[in-house]
Amino acid sequence: MRGRLLDQPDLFSVQQEGSADGLEHIPPFAAPVAATPCAVTDDPVALRIAEAIRDVFGDFGSEHGLSRTEIAQACAAVASADEFDARFRVFIKLRLLESLRGKAYDQRYVFNPTSGAALLVYERLGEAGGVQEITMLLDRTREGLLNGSLTEAQLSAKIAQARRSLANYTNHLLRLVRTRPIEELLGQRHHHAHTTSLKEAKHLVHAVAEQYPALRPAGTRLIQEALRYTAAVNEFHDRLMQQATTRRDFSMLLPEQYVTAARRSSVGALAQVFATTVFDPPSVQITTGQILTAAADHQPPPPRQRLPRPPSRPPGPDPVETARAKAALTRQRREATVTLLMAGKDEADVTAALRALPWQAAVKHLVELLRATADPAIPFMLDISGEVIVDAQGPVTYASPVTAYRIPDSPQEMDDDTEAAPQSPHE
């Protein structure tokens, strides 16, 4: 890492630690396919030009591509004309930019999405290192196992690949913790802030053991390596904490480390951080005005006053009682109408009585009968047959047989009436 400890960002800074140009992760990433040691640039302008080209194609590009002039205008803010010209020739040769129709004279270019994917990988490597790639490998392997796209041999190879990658990262991290200065560790703290490799490895091994028992030894070795990496991360954080305590420089710690310490450490361990810290003696001076202001701000709210009582009811009859009396008279009238039609009997066929009335009066009486039987307070019920009586010469042209019944007042009376009463001719 370049720079001094005092130049480190504070606790809430989002700046990434590492080299000044931010390209330290690109040479080892490109080394497996590099033709020569000079194949990878160390100029940060090159990466900014590539990102600007990606952005302009993403914002304004289409299936018809962009011209060289349009691409150059988009890169003017990050590089000079000479720098752009030099990188443009490289991008054409390495096919980051391709001619629209594949012709030498073509002056319109399209962006190769493979290069865009590489830029995303570079950004992820700069932010979280390569441990996240191992986690993604474990997750993809587990997904391939669940959907049946991987054979037993392929699963064995994937597990071995993840285990070896974890071993390499663990050895690298232990070497940093035990042999390198604290400045180099600070450049790696974001790479190991979140470790989910152990959790992903457990999920994968559990799923593999259920379907392929022969792969359990390989899964056990993967878990052991994941545990070894977790222990190395803990040792890495312990050294950072020790250095932060010694120098009183807590900007070296990440916010997640503060949260973890607050949740998992005891009160004594948290207090030990400030065991040798010198504090000024307390000096509390409160004036009378401040006390009165605080008392006014925190006094309970005044009690709620009840609304005044409504004014007294005006003189005259109570409208509620008047409505109740009117409803009672209506009920009595309907009950009297039904009793009159039934001639005082407990059961009566009122069809003839209704047919003898004019049709307007017959309709009115039938409605009164229906309203009476719908009122629970009136002890009558009505039976209307599905038959139709047609009398073209009578007051009522057609009607259905109607029988009215009085509901007994007591269950005993109901039983007696049920046994003694003959069946209705309509049943």
Three-state DSSP string of 369-395: HHHHHHCCCCCEEEEECCCCEECCCCC
Look at residue 177 and tell me whether its pLDDT is greater than 60: yes
Which residues, other chains included, contact 83 with Cβ-Cβ below 8 Å and sequence gap of 6+? Answer: 45, 49
Encode pLDDT of 262-276 as tens digits: 777 788 877 877 777
0.75 exceeded by the pTM?
no
Query: Bridge partners of 404?
Result: 348, 382
Q: Using a pLDDT cut of 70, give the percent of the chain over it.
A: 73
For 64, the token pair is 């018809």
Q: Please list, residue by residue across 228-261, b when 16 or more beta carbons sit within 10 angstroms of its beta carbon and e when fewer do.
A: bbbebbeebbeebbebbeeeeeebbbbeebeeee
d(CA 362, CA 375): 20
pLDDT for residue 416: 52
User: CB 410: neighbour CB atoms within 10 A?
Assistant: 8
The mean-pLDDT minimum among 156-165, 347-356, 407-416 falls in 407-416
Q: What is the pLDDT of residue 198?
A: 65
User: What is the mean pLDDT of the segment spanning 302-310?
Assistant: 81
The least confident of 38-42, 73-77, 118-122, 192-196 is 192-196
Average pLDDT of the chain is 75
Contact between 80 and 46 (Cβ < 8 Å): no
Q: Which helix (H) or strand (E) holds 349?
A: strand 347-349
More confident of the two residues 5 and 380:
380
DSSP-derived pairing of the beta strands 380-384 and 66-67: unpaired
* 122 vs 16, more confident: 122
**Which fold does the domain 26-124 belong to in CATH?**
Arc Repressor Mutant, subunit A (1.10.10)
Helix (H) or strand (E) holding 230: helix 216-247
Distance CA 263, CA 407 (A): 76
Query: CB-based contacts of 380: which residues, under 8 Å, 6+ apart?
Result: 335, 338, 369, 372, 373, 404, 405, 406, 407
Least confident of 72-76, 98-102, 408-412: 408-412
Task: State mean pLDDT over 386-405.
Answer: 84
Q: What is the arithmetic mean of pLDDT over 93-107?
A: 77
Report DSSP state, residue 5.
Answer: G
The residues spanned by each domain of the chain are 26-124, 129-272, 334-420
